[in-house]
Structure 1
Amino acid sequence: MDKRWKNLPCGYVSMTPQGVILDVNDTFLEMGNYTRDNLISNHIESIMSVANKLLFHSYFYPFIQLNGYVDEIYLNLKGSTGTDIPVLFNGKYYEQTEVVDCIFVHMGKRIDYEQEIRNAKILVEEAYREKDAALAKMQQLHLELEQKQSELIKLNQKLETLSITDGLTGLNNRRFFIEKMNEYILQSKQTNNPISLLMLDVDHFKLVNDTGGHPVGDKVLLQLAKLLTEFFPKGHIIARYGGEEFVVIMPFSNKEKSLNEAEQLRSTIESANWEVGKITVSIGVATSNLFETTTSILSKADKALYSSKENGRNKVTHASLS
């Protein structure tokens, strides 16, 4: 887990579908004043109250098995000193690796906001029962209530944006991409219009990091994200899949069209002005069929990307040719 994941503005836990903790980031450790040794290989329920364990059993396990994800479970974790830590919990199951990635967002501030709003409402109700002399005070409380509600809305929007956005590049993240891929696959089957998936990887990116350090590598990723955004039209879904890998959903795009766009993109990246010298990418492309799933088209694009790398990099390969 690199530095960015370790210091995300939310806790991250990787665990088995049965709840055994595999890895955590530093933010999660700080959230409960935990130590890595006390968490790794232990069960997630070891830091929950009895009531929250029952909630976990009745909601998390059935939903993660049935749907492959859970959203917005409100839990109270137990810190190392026994204190309650209110969190909003999201989980996503990856069948290929049999791992559940979990995000924990500390809800302390939100709870405070909600408590302030409830208190303000009580005061407003009391003010309505007062005489005319309380009118000015009631109006002031209304203003405070609106302000708190506005702050809560903004906080909710920020949480939603955080959950679907890559922290470094500002592109959509892997979670958002998977959700959209599922939608586009379904639409493709219903309309009988093909879609294509483009997966690209920066060639020799480790050398960039080793030579210039991670800040230089981050600049390359930021510039690449900007280039992708400018290159593709708004109808395309662009996301950072992980590390130096990016994915693009190309609607209404058959094999020929997707290959043409991918080759133009490869050439554009190769000829771009990079601070670190020449940067190239290897690209894999896959086009859907009537029996396609998100998992299968991802696998095809990944295999095509691997073929591009195996055949000298700075190449475009379609899954049908790999």
Structure 2
Amino acid sequence: MDDRINNAPCGYIAMTHEGFIQEVNHTFLMELGYPLIDVLDKHIESFMSTANKLIFHSYFYPFIHLNGHVDELFISLKDCSGNSIPYLLNGRRLERDGVEVFDCILMQMGRRVDYEHELRAAKHQMEEAYKEKETALAKLVTLHAEIEKKQAELLEMNALLLEMSHTDKLTGLKNRRYFQEALDGLIQGYPVDHQPFSLFILDIDHFKRVNDTYGHQIGDDVLERLGSILKSQARKEDIAARYGGEEFVLLLPQVDRDESTEMAENLRHIVACSIWETASITVSIGIATYTQDDTSTSLLKKADKALYLSKEMGRNRVTHAMDLT
């Protein structure tokens, strides 16, 4: 497991679709106080109370099978001493080596719950202070300042949780969900502003060969490095995201057909000329530019067909969907 994931400031587990834990990071083990041997191959529900098992069954399994992800599930797990530890869970269904697994991150919510209790207590005290005479004004000012501080801390924690739910943990890019929401937003705004926009779908050429030859750790390093290249080449208004596996997407507001092709060729060249741990890495790119007849589905299909042609023509190529007609 990558050291950054292993020591991330939140718990991480990977489990089978039946719920048996296959991987777990050091942070999660430290928070619950279990040794690794007591967690691996154990069912996730063995760490839950009966009430939490019912919550998990009625929410987690139906939603992740229906939508492919679960967001912000409030669940409690038992630590090694039997204490209940509250968590906020985000999960995603994916296939790894042909086997369906669930990747989950767990943000411990103890501090947040404490903040909310403190906020309620402080507000109650403030209401009582309003009933006092002028001698209570100084106390009222102090309590108000404490509330503002706690609210600011709570907002900061919520912002962190929201960012984590929108971010791919390996590459640091936005995830597919965030990209889809941004694409839908541009399409909805087009009738008003009539601003052109384009999108790329990038696929690493012969990525399976990289994993088979150098191992999955080097494969992950390649994905992470390509993510860094995309971030460095994207403009402030662009959205770079990991679409799935070795596929990446780049959403380019206010970019038409000609400019998008030029930008894609530049990106393709930078990747091909970069120094990699493997012999070489190249990408094939498919481009689509939005027209008023498009939907998000049709636009992605156009880009995907263009990507397919880039691969058919020998890879390490750029193809625009408009060149297919």
Distance 1:253 1:171 in 2: 21
Q: TM-score, normalised by structure 2?
A: 0.71
SS at match of 1:82: coil
Alignment of 1:1-322 (within 5 A): 1-94=1-94, 97-166=99-168, 170-177=172-179, 180=182, 183=184, 196-201=199-204, 220=225, 224-230=229-235, 234=237, 236-240=238-242, 246-249=248-251, 261-270=263-272, 281-285=282-286, 292=297, 311=314, 314-316=316-318
SS at match of 1:98: strand
Is the contact made by 2:231 and 2:240 (CA closer than 8 Å) also made in structure 1? Answer: no
Label 1:113 to 1:24 Cα distance change in 2 as closer, same or farther (>3 A): same
Is the contact made by 2:78 and 2:85 (CA closer than 8 Å) also made in structure 1? Answer: yes
Q: How big is the shift at 1:106?
A: 0.9
Is the contact made by 2:286 and 2:308 (CA closer than 8 Å) also made in structure 1? Answer: no
Q: How big is the shift at 1:271?
A: 5.9
Sequence identity percentage? 42
Stretch deviating more after TM superposition (79-88 or 255-264): 255-264
Distance 2:144 2:181 in 1: 39
Paired residues, number: 305
CA RMSD of aligned residues (A): 4.5
SS at match of 2:9: coil
Stretch deviating more after TM superposition (219-228 or 2-11): 219-228
Is the contact made by 1:203 and 1:282 (CA closer than 8 Å) also made in structure 2? Answer: no
Q: How big is the shift at 1:253?
A: 8.3
Specify every segment of 5 or more residues in structure 2 that has no aligned partner in the other structure, as ranges.
none
Label 1:72 to 1:294 Cα distance change in 2 as closer, same or farther (>3 A): farther
Stretch deviating more after TM superposition (18-27 or 133-142): 18-27
Label 1:242 to 1:291 Cα distance change in 2 as closer, same or farther (>3 A): closer
Label 1:223 to 1:72 Cα distance change in 2 as closer, same or farther (>3 A): closer
> Which amino acid is 2:234 matched to?
T
- 1:12-64: CA deviations, max 9, x gaps? 22223432323222222222123333333332111111111111122222222
> Which amino acid is 2:40 matched to?
I
Label 1:196 to 1:131 Cα distance change in 2 as closer, same or farther (>3 A): closer
Distance 2:276 2:296 in 1: 44
- 1:168-200: CA deviations, max 9, x gaps? 76532455346556x479869x9xx99644214
> Which amino acid is 1:53 matched to?
K
Is the contact made by 2:286 and 2:304 (CA closer than 8 Å) also made in structure 1? Answer: no
SS at match of 1:100: strand
Distance 1:126 1:144 in 2: 15
Is the contact made by 1:68 and 1:92 (CA closer than 8 Å) also made in structure 2? Answer: yes
Distance 1:229 1:2 in 2: 26
Stretch deviating more after TM superposition (297-306 or 141-150): 297-306
Q: TM-score, normalised by structure 1?
A: 0.72
> Which amino acid is 1:16 matched to?
T
Label 1:196 to 1:137 Cα distance change in 2 as closer, same or farther (>3 A): closer
SS at match of 2:229: helix
Q: How big is the shift at 1:149?
A: 1.0
Distance 2:159 2:296 in 1: 36
Q: How big is the shift at 1:70?
A: 2.0
Distance 1:141 1:250 in 2: 47
> Which amino acid is 1:239 matched to?
A
> Which amino acid is 2:154 matched to?
L
- 1:77-111: CA deviations, max 9, x gaps? 11122122111011222378532221110112212
Label 1:129 to 1:187 Cα distance change in 2 as closer, same or farther (>3 A): closer
Stretch deviating more after TM superposition (44-53 or 78-87): 78-87
Specify every segment of 5 or more residues in structure 1 that has no aligned partner in the other structure, as ranges.
none
